[in-house]
Amino acid sequence: MQDLLISKPRPVERLLLVGVPIAMVGFALVLLRAFNPASTWFFPPCPFREFTGYLCPGCGTLRAIHQLLNGHVAAAFRLNPLMMLLLPYVGYSGFSTALDTAFGRPLPNVFLRPVYIWILLAVIILFWILRNIPFFAILGNC
Amino acid sequence: MYCPKCGTTNDGNAWKCIQCQEVLQQAPAAGTPPEVIPNYLWQAIVCTACCCIPLGIPAIVYAAQVNTKVVQGDIAGARQASKNAKMWCWIAFGTGIASSLVWLAINIGVMMTNHHSFGR
Q: Which residues of B touch A1 (CB under 8 A)?
A: 9
Spell out which chain A residues touch chain B, with contact meaning CB-CB distance below 8 angstroms.
1-3, 41-42, 44-49, 56-59, 61-62, 80, 83, 86, 89-90, 93-94, 97, 106, 109, 111-114, 117-118, 120-121, 124-125, 128
Rg (CA), chain A: 19
**pLDDT of B11-58, one tens digit each?**
766 667 777 777 776 554 455 556 789 999 999 999 998 866 788 999
Residues contacting A88, CB < 8 A, separation 6+: none
Q: Which of A85, A92, A79, A95 is nearest to A138 (CA)?
A: A79
Confidence (pLDDT) at B120: 46
**pLDDT of B67-93, one tens digit each?**
999 999 999 999 999 999 999 999 999
Which ipTM value was assigned to this complex? 0.84
**Cα–Cα dist B57/B73, whole Å:** 24
Using the predicted structure, report yes or no on whether residue B101 has a pLDDT greater than 70: yes
Per-residue confidence band for A7, with pLDDT thresholds at 50, 70 and 90 = low
Using the predicted structure, report yes or no on whether residue B110 has a pLDDT greater than 90: no
How far does B107 lie from chain A, in Å, by closest CA? 9
Q: Give the number of C-alpha atoms closer than 13 A to the C-alpha of residue B75, restricted to the C-beta side.
A: 4
Contact A68, A76 (CB under 8 A): yes
Report, in this order, helix, strand and coil percent for chain B, each rounded to 5.
60, 5, 40
Q: What is the mean pLDDT of residues A18-42?
A: 91
How far does A36 lie from chain B, in Å, by closest CA? 16
**Cβ-defined contact of A112 to B67 (cutoff 8 Å):** yes
Q: What is the DSSP string of A29-93?
A: HHHHHHS-TTT-S-SPPPHHHHHHSSPPTTTTHHHHHHHHHTT-HHHHHHH-HHHHHHHHHHHHH
Confidence (pLDDT) at A8: 63
**Cα–Cα dist A81/A116, whole Å:** 18
Q: What is the mean pLDDT of residues A17-40?
A: 91
**Cα–Cα dist B27/B4, whole Å:** 17
Query: Which residues are bridge partners to B23 per DSSP?
Result: B16
Using the predicted structure, report yes or no on whether residue A1 has a pLDDT greater than 50: no
Confidence (pLDDT) at B86: 95
Interface test with B, best of A56, A97, A125 (most B CBs within 10 A): A56
Q: Mean pLDDT in chain A? A: 88
Segment among A9-18, A33-42, A50-59, B93-102 with least mean pLDDT: A9-18
Using the predicted structure, report yes or no on whether residue A45 has a pLDDT greater than 80: yes
**Cα–Cα dist A52/A48, whole Å:** 6
**Cα–Cα dist A78/A80, whole Å:** 6
**pLDDT of A56-94, one tens digit each?**
999 999 999 999 999 999 999 999 999 999 999 999 999
DSSP state of B22: -
Q: Which of A18, A50, A69 is nearest to B96 (CA)?
A: A50
Q: Does B1 or A93 have the greater pLDDT score?
A: A93
Share of residues in chain A with pLDDT > 70 (%): 94
- pTM of the entire structure? 0.76
End-to-end CA separation in angstroms for chain A: 54
Per-residue confidence band for A131, with pLDDT thresholds at 50, 70 and 90 = very high
